[in-house]
Structure 1
Amino acid sequence: MSARSLPRRRRLQASIVAVATAGLVLTGCTGNTVDNSGDEDRATAVSDNDEAGETVTIGFSGPAADHGWLAAINSSAQEEAEKYEDIDLQVAEGTNDPSQQIAQVETFINNGVDAIVLLPTDGAALTDVAIEAMEAGIPVVNVDREFSSPFAARTTILGDNYGMGVSAGTYACQLIEENNIADPVIAEIAGLDSLPLTQDRSDGFKDALEACDQEVDNRVAAEFTVESGEEQASNLLQAEDHIDIIWNHDDDQGVGVKAAFDNAERDEFFFIGGAGSRNAMDWIRDGEMEATVLYPPTQAADGIRLARLIAQGKGISDLVQVEVPRRIVLNAPVVTADNVEEYYDLGFES
């Protein structure tokens, strides 16, 4: 039975992780005033953060763009900076070499930038130089991969890897209930098992499945590449002659995963992806994929906004607090045919 032939009810989006969706609220500073044109007791929020202020120089160092999501991180940061005439963005060459990235941050410090946005290739390796920047009075915005000291960053903005797994598992439970699947066979195609982010995603998936008394029946691990995705998906299909639900952690490796499905002419299962690529969203539109769980590629863009606010001494208008928070974790929503148009523009090219 094809997953596409099963009845599709309106999906309840699995945004079960209680987190701050910072990317949607970074457009104003906190303030109240009286609207004299009407009820004088009514307070009206004043939001002028998008108006040009004092020009700030922001240094940005990101990863080598050898993966669709990572490329989107870099491009979204630069595109966001271009929206503001009061941002002077200094962009270092993307790298996977911690030593080179340390040198880049040292250059930013020597140049006296007003803030640094940094997605470290290795959080532990970049901690000391980030502390050096902070001690020089330069606020550091840490993106995606955390430093090993709280003194290394003014603000940390993260995706939610555990939350991705929880969202995928909760949605899988929903599919099982909606489609009355008895004794479902559930498979998982992970990324690199040596990475904490992969472990977090798998832990979240496992924990969410326990809520509906289910477990993963077959799990393979790929390497976040198209080739490894195809290889491991082929191995999975050979091991299981019937599968009801497959969760693949990463939509970039999902290109290979989908190729393996097509080559084997297998589509009896609900296929759930991860990260939110444009390919995945196109497949959802076309009915060839059930859903994907978003891991926002806008984290560095949000980091640029946060760095601008911090350097200009502003806060976030939707919070009572007048300063930018020290830690922000973005949501991991499930994207389905019901809401794909809402998220489509966030999809990145694999």
Structure 2
Amino acid sequence: MSPTPAAPRPTRRNLLFGTAAASAGALLTGCTSNSSSSGDDEREGQSQAAVADDSPGRPVTIGFAGPQADHGWLNAINENAHRRAEEYEDVTLKTTEGSNDTAQQIGQIETLINSEVDVLVVLPADGRALTQVALTAMEAGIPVVNLDRIFDTAQAYRCWVGGDNYGMGLNAGHFIGERLKDVENAKVVELAGLDNLELTRQRTQGFDDALANYPNIEKVARQAAEFTVESGQEVMSGLLQAVPSFHALWNHDDDQGVGAERAIEQAGRDEFFMVGGAGSRHVMEAIQADDSVVKATVLYPPTMAASAIDLARALGQSKGISGLAELEIPTSITLYSAVVTRDNVEQYLPTGFN
């Protein structure tokens, strides 16, 4: 069967009130198309939306713009997006050179808009600063899939997909709390990320809310690092000197955790266990080996970029969802922050990033 002829670009009204549905990740597999020889797809005069599937459809050009990949997780975002796009013969991916300079990223997105891509996937270096250019894309009839760092208004995107920072802290806190619930006067230390980021504050709030359920546990120290190996080592060294003994450490980010591990080894400390954040392959392998203080990590999955490509492709092809009754794609998809331990690490190891 020949590909479906290209449809007119969606209008602004279509984008806000009614393009066909799509979904991310596992929801996009094992689905069938709208056409049916039996006619069972029409019931009581109600037609179902075309559901997303892997079979080739109308060609879609997706513009992908993200920040500079100066961090393991951000590099994994780029890799996930490229790998997913390569799986689809009907997808052409146009990417920009990542930048942490907002003016430069705005210019890159404007270039993608002018090249008339069908859909945009944007992980903004700064959601607030890039809101206007996303609005420009939407007003031009180009659906925007907002990845992770959110724009200031829902009018700037058709769908947002990202991680759960509050849930990340909450699940880390509950994991630590359950392991220490029978320990009298348990002490916990937190190695946070950049304090000027809202995501860091959300992770800390979730962690504190979880620990509030365990009256025997006290958080005795918290210091912020900068999501880098060097800062993790420096700040962790200071924490180890300031707190002579404690039972658990939660580190917000596995990249800075590499530095924290170095500081811990240099200090010869092993009286506590460590829970990481994000889900790097290094940490998962340490969990699997079970020969260090690292016992768990809480996911912030970079696979969200692959899901964003799935969503963008489905939007461009006016395909819908399998598994949900709604005919439209959700306006937001929040990924779950699973806790990876020795018991389940083999399941999650393929998602670990370098």
The residue number in structure 2 matching 1:274 is 277
Instruction: Indicate if the aligned counterparts of 2:52 and 2:319 stay in contact, CA closer than 8 A.
Output: no
2:316 partner letter: A
Kindly indicate whether residue 315 of structure 2 is the aligned counterpart of residue 313 of structure 1: no
Letter of the 1:210 partner, please give it: A
Q: Is there any run of 5+ residues in structure 1 with no aligned partner, and where?
A: 1-20, 37-45
Distance 1:32 1:140 in 2: 27
Shifted more, 81-90 versus 213-222: the winner is 213-222
Deviation at 1:243, TM superposition (A): 1.1
Return the alpha-carbon distance in structure 1 between the equivalents of residues 32 and 214 of structure 2: 43
Q: Do residues 60 (structure 1) and 64 (structure 2) align?
A: yes
Within 1, Cα distance between the matches of 2:98 and 2:306? 15
Counterpart of 1:225 in structure 2 is 228
Which residues of structure 2 form unaligned runs of 5+?
Answer: 1-22, 40-49
Q: How far apart, CA to CA, are the structure 2 residues paired with 1:118 and 1:252?
A: 23
State the TM-score, normalized to the length of structure 2.
0.86
CA distance in 2, matches of 1:119, 1:140: 10
2:286 corresponds, among 283, 287, 296, to 283
Q: Could you tell me which amino acid in structure 2 is paired with residue 133 of structure 1?
A: A
Is the contact between residue 281 and residue 353 of structure 2 (CA under 8 Å) also seen in structure 1?
yes
Alignment partner of 2:219: what SS? coil
Structure-to-structure mapping, 1:36-185, within 5 angstroms: 49-177=53-181, 180-185=182-187
Deviation by residue 1:1-34 (Cα, 9 ceiling, x = unmatched) = xxxxxxxxxxxxxxxxxxxx95332334686979
Tell me which residue corresponds to 1:203.
205
Correspondence 1:234 to 2:247: no
- Provide the TM-score with structure 1 as the length reference: 0.87
Asked if the contact 1:26–1:305 (Cα under 8 Å) also holds between the matched residues in 2, the reply is yes
Q: Which amino acid aligns with 2:163?
A: G
Secondary structure of the residue aligned to 2:129 is: helix
Classify the secondary structure of the residue corresponding to 1:164.
helix
Q: What SS does the aligned partner of 2:54 have?
A: coil
Amino acid at match of 1:275: A
CA RMSD in angstroms comes to: 2.0
User: Is the 1:30–1:322 contact (alpha carbons within 8 Å) kept by the matching residues of 2?
Assistant: no
